[in-house]
Amino acid sequence: MKIKDFLEDYINEMREEKSKHTVSYYITDIKQFDRFIKFKDIEEIKNIDIEEYKSNLLCEKSLKPKTINRKLLSFKKYLEWINENEKIDLIKILKIKLIKIQRQDYLEEMLEISDFERLVRMAEREKDTRAIAIFNTLYLTGMRVSELLQLKVSDITNDYITIIGKGEKSRDIFVIDELKEYLKDYIRDRKPPIGGFLFINQNNNNVMSRQSVDDLIKKYAGIAKVKLTKAHAHNFRHLAGLRMIEEGLTIDEVADVLGHGNINTTRIYTRKTKKELRKAISRLGGRRN
């Protein structure tokens, strides 16, 4: 039996539980491992194959430990599914050990306010009211992209929007007057269907996807000369969290606004960026003439 023999059934089941984005990762990761072991029979896979694969990803492909762990977990979840559904117990035989990652108390590749302003400026130059509205909604509310794509046209008349966030938890998000104006400009320009989703694709018939939001951000990052590694929707949320702390909100208040279930998730916004840490450490020098 080959790895691919059960893949279609597994992926069909995952499509009912996971996002399209996550399922895409599963497919890529499992097929990549299968190619590496040269399509061996499942029963022939050994722990040494997994260790060599891990080493290849780290040393040859220079992937980050976090990415390698995701790939290993994708395969581990697949083995667990095979064990449960096909009664082939590989979990006890194959020990998939993740790379230990030391927690880093700094933020890296963060979107800065100057980056955000350049993105908006370029969108304004292009008269792209949809991009302007999306960038400002992500930043001025701190919402997740999945929450952004839930928004309906009728939502923007209120001073706050009730959304369903992570873990099916609802919370209220404030809509300040400035944001309402950006959204009204977009609606006047693009005319999304009344009662329908707010942010629709170019054909004006379907809600945008997560990928199309990230593609839009990357498009303007290229024009605005913002590093592409910073150009993704979640970084707007991080920027919002940092700015809230700078404006004097407490950790608890920021956690409420962002919908964090665990206060430790919010504490990241009290940490320094890698750039700030480097600057602080450089100040320790200065003795050499």
Helices (H), the chain: 7-17, 20-36, 47-55, 65-86, 113-125, 129-141, 145-148, 177-190, 210-224, 233-246, 251-258, 263-266, 274-282
Q: 122: which 2 tokens?
A: 């370029």
56-87 pLDDT, tens digit each: 998 888 888 889 999 999 999 998 898 888 77
All domains in the chain, ordered by first residue: 3-86 (1.10.150.130), 113-275 (1.10.443.10)
How much is the average pLDDT of 162-175? 79
Separation in Å, CA 264 to CA 169, 180, 204, 271: 18, 32, 40, 12
For position 222, what pLDDT does the model report?
94
Separation in Å, CA 254 to CA 2, 104, 141, 157: 49, 21, 11, 24
For position 16, what pLDDT does the model report?
85
Residue 42 has pLDDT above 90, yes or no: no
Residue 25 has pLDDT above 60, yes or no: yes
User: In whole numbers, what is the pLDDT of the chain averaged over residues?
Assistant: 85
pLDDT bucket at 115, cuts 50 / 70 / 90? very high
CA-CA distance, 144 to 149, in Å (whole number)? 9
Burial class (CB in 10 A: 0-12, 13-18, 19+), 163: buried
- Residues comprising the chain, all counted: 289
Q: Taking each helix axis as running N to C, give the angle between helix 20-36 and helix 47-55, from 0 to 180 degrees, rounded to the nearest 10.
A: 110
For position 31, what pLDDT does the model report?
95
pLDDT bucket at 92, cuts 50 / 70 / 90? low
pLDDT bucket at 91, cuts 50 / 70 / 90? low
CA-CA distance, 159 to 156, in Å (whole number)? 8
